[in-house]
Structures are given as C-alpha cells and as structure tokens.
Amino acid sequence: MESATGKVVLVTDQPPLSGIGVYVANLYDLLRGSFPEIEVRNLYYFRSPDSPPHQRMPGQQYADSRLGVPRTLRSNERTLARQLAGERALIHLCGASYDLTARVERSVATVMDFGLRTFGSLLSTQPRLLLVEGYSLVDWLRTPRFLRRCEAIVSPSDYTRTRIRAWTGLESTVIPLWVDQDRFRLRSKSDSRTRLGLPLDRRVVLNVATGAAYKNHAMLRRVVEALPPEYLLVRIGHPLPGPPSRVRNEGRVPADRYPHYFDAADAYLHVSLREGFGIPLLESFSSGTPVVALANPPAPEVLGTAACLVPPRASAPEFAAAVRSVVEARDVAAKLTAAGFERLRAFDPARVRTSYTELYLNAMRS
C-alpha cells in the first residue's frame, strides 16, 4: 500500500501491556508502512518499564497514589497539547483521554468499551478498586461531549457501536480487532507447559482479566469449585482468590511468555458480563485453543459458531459441565480448534489496515 503523508499520533493513558496498550502497539506496527510519521505517546500516570513503541513525553508526570491520578492525567494531557500546538497532526485517542479533543485541532477516537462500568458495579467491585470504578463512571458521563468533537469514532464491535449510539446519538465505524498470527500460533502443549512451569498431568484452563467488576470474578471462582480436582485455572492479570492447588495467579506476564499460556491451556474460559470486544478470544483461536464462553455481548458476535457458547444465565455447574464437554472430548476440542482458525478470516489484518487508512485520510482532508 502506498505511503501517506501527514503525521499521526496514537495517544493512550493505559499501561503498555494492558489490552489497550497492546492495541496501540499493534496498530502502530500495522500502519507504520502506510503512515511513516506515525508515533505513540503514552500518558500513563504510574511509572512503568519502557515498552517500545510507547514513548514517554518530555515533562511527563506520575502519580504517587490512585488519588493523584486525575490531577496527574490532566496535567499530562495539557503538556501533550502544548507540544502538539501548531502541528497539523491527526491525533488518534485510543480508549481514553477523550477530553484532549478540546485541546487539539483534528482527532479521531477508538471507544473500546463504552459504559461497561455501571452504578451497580460500585456495589460488587473490590474495595481497592472502588476509586477506579467510580472514576470510570464519571469519565463515561463526561465522554459524549468530547466525542462530538472527533472527525470519526471507531468501535471494535457492533455491540459497542450500538451502545455509543444509544447513549450519545453518535455514529461510529466498526473496525474489529485482529491478532498477530505469527506471535499466537500452534506450539507444543508440553513444551509450553515446561517453559512456564505448568504441570504436565493436569487439565489446564486459562483466563485473562483485569479486576473490573464486569469480568465476573465471582462466577469464575464458582466454576473452578465446580470442576474436578484435576483441573487447574491459570489466571493472567488481576489475582483470583482460590487455593494454589486449583488457581495459579500469574499476574502480569512478559510479552514473550504471554502467547505460550494459550498453547499450554486445554481451553480458554470467558465469563465476562460484557466486553468491548475481548482480544483473548482471537488469541485463543490463533493458538488453536478451544473457547468456552458465556454468551454475553459481544462474545457471540466475535466467536460466531467457533466456540462452546453457554447461556448467559447458566449456573457455575452448567458452565463447568460445558468446559468438561470440550476438554475431555478430543473430537469436540479438535472441531472447535478448526472452526477457530476458520473464524480468524473475519479479522484479517490487511482488511483492518485498509479501514484505518481510509478513515485517517478522510479525517486529514476534513
């Protein structure tokens, strides 16, 4: 594809290894051949290790506690706006910091998960995350007026597009997520388990999640309890309470090790009440790992018929029975694996590149 002129700045305020941080890095890699002047600015408010292409900006500030996050983030946004003043750059706000639209000349925004926090989530979240959930709710209420300033809005799914339209009246363009099929690919299960220090004689199921209430942690704990003792849940991200013999919390793992967890697993478990998209679902497909998922949106949209979908109101024993029906039946697992590879065609990176290129060029001409 022919290179386009014009500077593009991808902006996020999320950690480089978070879902949105990875999306930004992947988008940079996908588009730098088309937009040679593309760059990434990360306004994350806590100190974190360098992770190219994410760049810190000169004068970036960091918070000492969660209480200091709003002030620190607003300060970083003002600093970035001053640095971009006078440039005809297209600013792509990726998942957050939408109020920058009031400070820059041209912007587009990706809205990953509009309104996933609810007032009910404040009642079910963990106390240490109460401030995060509360701030997310406030930010959600403020977001529509900033989105109206954008040249274009991107949604990763029809579900998110519908939520944006219902709340704001604004239209958005659906550009789904994609996955690096060289990074996530079939590998030896035993080799991956040996590399990660996982047992070779257990049935291993995987889940990746933050601590947000909509990730449905209580349900996942009950599912683990309903599974036989030979099952081991490996959890990446926010820790899930449970005995070490049944739950292995890996926390945040290095990027080079992360794909191996999908190869090591017998199945991926998706129990979220809702998502913006759910990138681990594609990572599972690309790794040949069958998926068992509650049919909450947008999982059916993303998965199609390539996963074992469980009714949204299913009990933990019913979900556990679905897991066993996949893990303990090789023919079922093989059929889902083949369907997953086929389903990946709907999330072709070349098609995504074309969609973003057209969207950027239209925004630059406005």
Contact 77, 59 (CB under 8 A): no
Q: How many residues can be counted in the chain?
A: 366
Which comes out higher in pLDDT, residue 73 or 132? Answer: 73
Task: Give the pLDDT confidence of 272-306 residue by residue, as tens digits.
Answer: 998 999 999 999 999 999 999 999 999 999 999 99
Average pLDDT score over residue span 155-166: 93
Domain 8-178+348-365 matches domain 189-346 at the CATH topology level: yes
Q: What pLDDT band is residue 39 in, cutting at 50, 70 and 90?
A: very high
Residue 291 · residue 309 · CB < 8 Å: no
Answer yes or no: CATH 3.40.50.2000 is held by domain 8-178+348-365: yes
Please state whether beta strands 231-237 and 173-174 pair in parallel, antiparallel, or not at all (unpaired): unpaired
Q: Give SS3 for 80.
A: helix
Its CATH class, for the domain covering 189-346, is alpha beta
Residue listed under structure tokens 């005995």: 243
34 compared with 143, residue with greater pLDDT: 34
The answer to whether the pTM exceeds 0.85 is: yes
The domain limits of the chain are 8-178+348-365, 189-346
Q: Which two tokens stand for residue 147?
A: 């989105």
Q: Which amino acid is at 114?
A: F
